Structure 1
Amino acid sequence: MKTIQIKGLDKPVTTLIQGSDYFKPNVYEKVCQVLDRYVAIGGNTIDTAHIYCGGESEVAIGMWLKERNNRDDIVILTKGAHHDQNGPRVNADAIRQDLFESLERLGTDYIDLYALHRDDPEVPVSEIIDALNEQIKAGRIKAIGGSNWTTERIQAANEYADANGLTGFSFNSPNLSLAKANEPFWKGCVSSDSEDLHWHEQTQLPLLSWSSQARGFFTGRFTPEDRSNQDLVRVFYSDANWDRLKRAEQLAEQKSVTAIQIALAYVLNQSFPTCALIGAQNEHELLSCLEGSSILLTKEETAWLENGSFAKKH
């Protein structure tokens, strides 16, 4: 499996990252099947979060890490400081509390990739970077990033870090997919637009995309007339996205692959380092993702998939 490098880590990060938002100890057998298959095809990075399944996702991963005795081989991406019923909680106390709870659940003394699950623009980036660097210096975090942060806030955070000899964000984890979101999945979520992609091209900051395959939009199971999946209708149903699906199907036929594999390849063939968070739950889905991750697309093909026109050559 292909890999990228993220500043702060001595381990490579595989371009397919296994999601775990359904992991729980009461389905531990399935957790083991999913993770064992994923590792068997060369994957090494697991995505989780402090809030997933009320913390049970991290607990189940911790059980697997202990049983397999493979912590040093695995890259853990977890997220904290998500808002609660009282509102935003992106502050030093919340970061410390969530991090310590995640470490205990996972049964480890460090997190490879730690992302803030949401942002609070009311909090100065200086306070956030200072809080995260305290944990980096203590050895509890290797690399930091933002999930659902704007590139403007990441830029500001990194400028503050650079000016003060601190560690800045070394990755970004928004939604990026061939299907463009009409509105946020959930309040506070961020989907990358063309300006964001240009910023990533200029900075070469790695992007780890959640919902990289647009929640199944490209599987062929959905049509404009089928409005049974309200979330998919709300977020992805648009004339422009149906056109993107048609183009993905055309290119898939040319390359003897599937449209959803083309959609995955779109994410992994950007002009900067990218990874795709995947939700594969069985061997068929996992192998489909593996095959999709090996598809090479030209810059012209990715531009055509997105816009229906070819990128200009410089």
Structure 2
Amino acid sequence: MKTIAIKGLSKPVSALIQGSDYFKPAVYDKVCDVLDRFMSIGGNTIDTAHNYCGGESEVAIGQWLKERNNRESVVILTKGAHPKGDGPRVNPYDIQEDLLTSLERLGTDYIDLYALHRDDTNVPVKVIIEALNEHIAAGRIKAIGVSNWGTDRIQEANEYAAATGLTGFTFSSPNLSLAKPNEPFWPGCVSVDETDAAWYEANQMPVLSWSSQARGFFTGRFTPEDRSNEDLVRVFYSDANWQRYARAEQLAKEKGVSQIQVALAYVLNQAYPTSAIIGAQNEQELMSCRDGAEIVLTAEERNWLECGKQLASR
């Protein structure tokens, strides 16, 4: 499987990242099946978070890591400082509390990729960068990043880090998909827009995309008339996205693949490094993702899928 490099991490990061927002010890057999299959196709990176399933996702992954005795061959991406009912939690105390809890649940003494799950623009980047660098110095974190931060704040944080000789953010995990959201799927979520894409390309910062396949929008199970999935309707149903759906269907037929594989290839063929977080729960879904990750799209094909700009051959 193709990989990308992230500064601060000696291990490569697989192009596909296995999502775990449904992992629990109660379904541990399924967790093992999913992770064992994922590793067997060359995947090595698992996405989780302090708040997934109330922490049970990290516990299940930790159990699997211990039983398989494979910690050094696995890249763990976990996230902390997600807001709670009493408000934002992006501060040194809550970052440390979440990080230490995640380490205990996962049964490890370090996190490969640690991301702040949300931003709080009321907190100066100086405070955040200095707090995270303390954990890097202590060996608890290899590389720091963000999830759902705007590129302006990432830029500000990295400029401060560079000016003070500290380590800055070396990856970002926003939503990136061929279907463009009408509104955030969850409050505080960030999706890559045209301005962001230009920034990521200029800085060549790796993007680890969540909802990379638009939560099944391109599976063929949905139509403009089928409005049974309220969240999908709210976030992804638009004339522009149905036009992208049609273009993905057309290109898929020409390439002899499925349209959801074309949608995945769109994410993995950007002008900056990308990996895609996937939610494959069975062998068929995983093989589809594996094959989709191998599809090569030209910049012209990618732009046509997104914007409908005419391909020279059409």
TM-score w.r.t. length of structure 1: 0.99
- Summarize deviations over 1:28-48 as a string: whole Å, max 9, x none: 000000000000000000000
* 8 A Cα contact 1:50 1:80, kept in partner: yes
What is the aligned residue count? 312
What is the letter of the counterpart of residue 134 of structure 1?
E
- Summarize deviations over 1:181-218 as a string: whole Å, max 9, x none: 00000100000001100001100000000000000000
Report % sequence identity: 74
Deviation, structure 1 residue 9: 0.5
Structure 1: gaps (5+ residues)? none
Taking the aligned partners of 1:310 and 1:274, their CA distance within structure 2 comes to: 25
What is the letter of the counterpart of residue 112 of structure 1?
D
Deviation, structure 1 residue 310: 4.6
- Summarize deviations over 1:225-245 as a string: whole Å, max 9, x none: 110000000000000000000
Cα RMSD between the aligned structures? Answer: 0.8
Match of 1:242 in 2: 242
Match of 1:198 in 2: 198
Runs of 4+ in 1 over 4 A off after TM superposition: none
SS of the residue 1:79 aligns to: strand
SS of the residue 1:118 aligns to: coil
Deviation, structure 1 residue 158: 0.3
SS of the residue 1:219 aligns to: coil
Match of 1:157 in 2: 157
What is the letter of the counterpart of residue 308 of structure 1?
G
* 8 A Cα contact 1:175 1:192, kept in partner: yes
* 8 A Cα contact 1:249 1:259, kept in partner: yes
Deviation, structure 1 residue 277: 0.1
What is the letter of the counterpart of residue 253 of structure 2?
E
Match of 2:45 in 1: 45
Does 2:25 correspond to 1:25? yes
Taking the aligned partners of 2:178 and 2:148, their CA distance within structure 1 comes to: 18
Taking the aligned partners of 1:44 and 1:224, their CA distance within structure 2 comes to: 37
Taking the aligned partners of 2:103 and 2:290, their CA distance within structure 1 comes to: 30
What is the letter of the counterpart of residue 133 of structure 1?
N
Match of 1:273 in 2: 273
- Summarize deviations over 1:12-61 as a string: whole Å, max 9, x none: 00000000000000100000000000000000000000000000000000
SS of the residue 1:184 aligns to: coil
Deviation, structure 1 residue 120: 0.2
* 8 A Cα contact 1:299 1:311, kept in partner: no
Match of 1:80 in 2: 80
Deviation, structure 1 residue 269: 0.2
What is the letter of the counterpart of residue 38 of structure 1?
F
Taking the aligned partners of 1:23 and 1:180, their CA distance within structure 2 comes to: 27
SS of the residue 1:33 aligns to: helix
What is the letter of the counterpart of residue 9 of structure 1?
L
Taking the aligned partners of 2:33 and 2:279, their CA distance within structure 1 comes to: 13
Taking the aligned partners of 1:227 and 1:85, their CA distance within structure 2 comes to: 30
Taking the aligned partners of 1:91 and 1:290, their CA distance within structure 2 comes to: 38
Taking the aligned partners of 1:65 and 1:91, their CA distance within structure 2 comes to: 29
Deviation, structure 1 residue 171: 0.2
SS of the residue 2:291 aligns to: helix
Match of 1:67 in 2: 67
Deviation, structure 1 residue 150: 0.3
Match of 1:55 in 2: 55
- Summarize deviations over 1:96-125 as a string: whole Å, max 9, x none: 000000000000000000000000000000
Taking the aligned partners of 2:116 and 2:69, their CA distance within structure 1 comes to: 27
Compared CA separation, residues 303 and 311, structure 1 to 2 (3 A): farther
What is the letter of the counterpart of residue 225 of structure 1?
E
Match of 1:16 in 2: 16
Taking the aligned partners of 2:281 and 2:249, their CA distance within structure 1 comes to: 24
Deviation, structure 1 residue 263: 0.1
SS of the residue 1:174 aligns to: coil
Structure 2: gaps (5+ residues)? none
Deviation, structure 1 residue 311: 8.3
What is the letter of the counterpart of residue 45 of structure 1?
T
Compared CA separation, residues 122 and 310, structure 1 to 2 (3 A): farther
Compared CA separation, residues 296 and 81, structure 1 to 2 (3 A): same
- Summarize deviations over 1:72-131 as a string: whole Å, max 9, x none: 000000000000000001000000000000000000000000000000000000000000
* 8 A Cα contact 1:4 1:14, kept in partner: yes
Taking the aligned partners of 1:53 and 1:196, their CA distance within structure 2 comes to: 30
SS of the residue 1:169 aligns to: coil
Taking the aligned partners of 1:200 and 1:5, their CA distance within structure 2 comes to: 15
* 8 A Cα contact 1:45 1:77, kept in partner: yes
What is the letter of the counterpart of residue 36 of structure 1?
D
Match of 1:218 in 2: 218
Taking the aligned partners of 1:19 and 1:102, their CA distance within structure 2 comes to: 16
SS of the residue 2:217 aligns to: helix
